[in-house]
Amino acid sequence: MIRVKELVAALERHAPLHFAESYDNPGLLCGDPESEIKGVVTCLDCTEAVVEEAIEMDCNVIVAHHPVIFKGIKSLTGRTYVERTLIKAIKNDVAIYAIHTNIDSILEGGVSQMLGHQLGVEKMQVLQARQEQKQVELTVLEMRVEDAQKVAIDCTDQAFSSMVEVETVEGPRQWMRWTGRSDRAMELIHRLKEQGMTAQLMNSEVLSPGVGLGVIGELPVPMPETVFLSKMKETLGGTTIRHTSLLGKSIHKVALCGGSGAFLLPQAKSAGADIFITGDFKYHEFFDAENNIIIADIGHYESEQWTISLLKEWISKKFSTFAVHCTTVVTNPVNYF
């Protein structure tokens, strides 16, 4: 029997919550962590239709990329699609878990790498590495390591529990080391001190390998611009590609970011990319290419559509006692006439 909390723990080992951006809201959004999992549906967006699909397939867990709860909710009256989705899920005991910018922020098994694979990009590395980690040294006196670990996990909420890493030091002094965002580190220290543990902040930044946003890689063989754009359009299912002026040279170095990645354009240019592929570029942001790089806006949904199968494959490999299904509901709210 696999419980919801075991799936949550596995997902958060793969993509820790502290890798998420500060504005984000990943994690278990509704549902009982102790519930036994009957089946899972993976999706990009959790909507009423996706919840209905899960119910029809006798699945009681939905793993979505985008959090259905993103802003504060002060009532549940069914006034908005978010409220109606949550009401339907709660009434039918369907748990909803979101794995958003934390899975965007990992290279291996991440959203941008998946997009790169689909487009034939190789030798991928993180485009913008994460450098905002802090270490916390936790000194534990007259305590067994097992007891210290339990105290550390018990005094943290779900967001912290997956970040606790225990190391044993020989001798009378035992300690643990935790790595995470500096703002959360201060909260963790406060909680641990309330439990009688001595903790202090170490002023050391940690750059986690393979953690950050976007990727940069290469095509195995350089392609003419129109050939690559045509191949990309076919791969994406014929979607419209908005792009800046072509530069009359081959495409070899490719930068990309699933979802909304316009903020990474400076990094793509600095890395010497011939093209930067993402979604949600605004009109005036296209001018920032300045004929040094091609910007290709392929759409938010289109750039992340393979995340649905990515999640299904990853969960299926980890758990074999329940079925995992990709949603058949197309949740893209954008249509082209």
Residue 105 lies in a domain: no
Residue 332 lies in a domain: no
138 and 124 in a common domain:
no
Q: Which of 206, 238, 269 is the last residue of a domain?
A: 206
Alpha-carbon gap, residue 36 to 51, rounded angstroms: 17
- Helices in the chain by DSSP H: which ranges? 4-14, 48-56, 81-91, 101-104, 111-118, 145-154, 158-161, 182-194, 225-235, 265-270, 300-304, 307-318
Report pLDDT for 164.
Answer: 41
Task: Compute the average pLDDT of residues 289-301.
Answer: 97
Angle at Cα 13 formed by Cα 15 and Cα 143, nearest 5°? 135
223 and 124 in a common domain:
yes
22 and 95 in a common domain:
yes
Which structural domain range is residue 319 located in? 4-100+306-326
237 and 150 in a common domain:
no
Report pLDDT for 211.
Answer: 87
| pLDDT for residue 305 is more than 60 | yes
Q: 308 — phi, psi (to 5°)? A: -60, -50
Alpha-carbon gap, residue 226 to 237, rounded angstroms: 17
154 and 121 in a common domain:
no
Residue of 292, 297, 285, 281 lying closest to 253 (CA atoms): 292
Alpha-carbon gap, residue 25 to 308, rounded angstroms: 18
Q: 127 — phi, psi (to 5°)? A: -80, -45
Q: 166 — phi, psi (to 5°)? A: -105, 135
**Secondary structure letter of residue 83 according to DSSP:** H
Question: Model confidence over 196-228: pLDDT tens digits?
Answer: 666 666 555 555 668 899 999 999 999 999 999
226 and 120 in a common domain:
yes
Residue 279 lies in a domain: yes
180 and 169 in a common domain:
yes
Alpha-carbon gap, residue 150 to 83, rounded angstroms: 36
Q: How many domains does the chain have?
A: 3
CB neighbours of 14 closer than 8 A, spacing ≥ 6? 103, 106, 109, 314
170 and 319 in a common domain:
no
Q: Quick count: other Cβ atoms within 10 Å of Cβ 130?
A: 19
Question: Model confidence over 139-198: pLDDT tens digits?
Answer: 544 445 555 555 555 544 333 333 344 444 444 444 555 555 555 566 666 766 776 666
Q: Quick count: other Cβ atoms within 10 Å of Cβ 186?
A: 13
Alpha-carbon gap, residue 83 to 47, rounded angstroms: 10
Q: Which of 189, 206, 223 is the last residue of a domain?
A: 206
Angle at Cα 127 formed by Cα 123 and Cα 130, nearest 5°? 125
Q: If you search the block for the tokens 């007891």, which residue do you land on?
A: 147
Domain containing 293 — which CATH number? 3.40.1390.30
Question: Model confidence over 251-279: pLDDT tens digits?
Answer: 999 999 999 999 999 999 999 999 999 99
Question: Model confidence over 74-97: pLDDT tens digits?
Answer: 999 999 999 999 999 999 999 999
Question: Model confidence over 3-57: pLDDT tens digits?
Answer: 999 999 999 989 988 889 889 999 999 999 999 999 999 999 999 999 999 999 9
pLDDT-wise least confident of 163-167, 278-282, 304-308 = 163-167
| pLDDT for residue 129 is more than 70 | yes
**Secondary structure letter of residue 210 according to DSSP:** T
Q: Which of 181, 206, 231 is the last residue of a domain?
A: 206
Its pTM stands at 0.81
Domain containing 201 — which CATH number? 3.30.70.250
| pLDDT for residue 289 is more than 90 | yes
Handedness of CA 147, 152, 156, 160 (dihedral sign): negative
Handedness of CA 319, 322, 323, 327 (dihedral sign): negative
Residue 331 lies in a domain: no
Report pLDDT for 8.
Answer: 96
Give the 3-state secondary structure of 154-190.
Answer: HCCCHHHHCCEEECCCCCCCEEEEEEEEHHHHHHHHH
Residue 335 lies in a domain: no
Alpha-carbon gap, residue 124 to 60, rounded angstroms: 36
Residue 291 lies in a domain: yes
158 and 118 in a common domain:
no
Alpha-carbon gap, residue 307 to 303, rounded angstroms: 9
Residue 337 lies in a domain: no
192 and 74 in a common domain:
no
255 and 117 in a common domain:
yes
Task: Compute the average pLDDT of residues 284-313.
Answer: 98
Task: Compute the average pLDDT of residues 289-297.
Answer: 98
Report pLDDT for 271.
Answer: 97
Report pLDDT for 158.
Answer: 31
222 and 197 in a common domain:
no
Average pLDDT, the chain: 86
Q: Is 301 helix (H, G, I), strand (E, B) or coil?
A: helix
Residue 186 lies in a domain: yes
CB 151 within 8 Å of CB 194 = no
Alpha-carbon gap, residue 4 to 238, rounded angstroms: 38
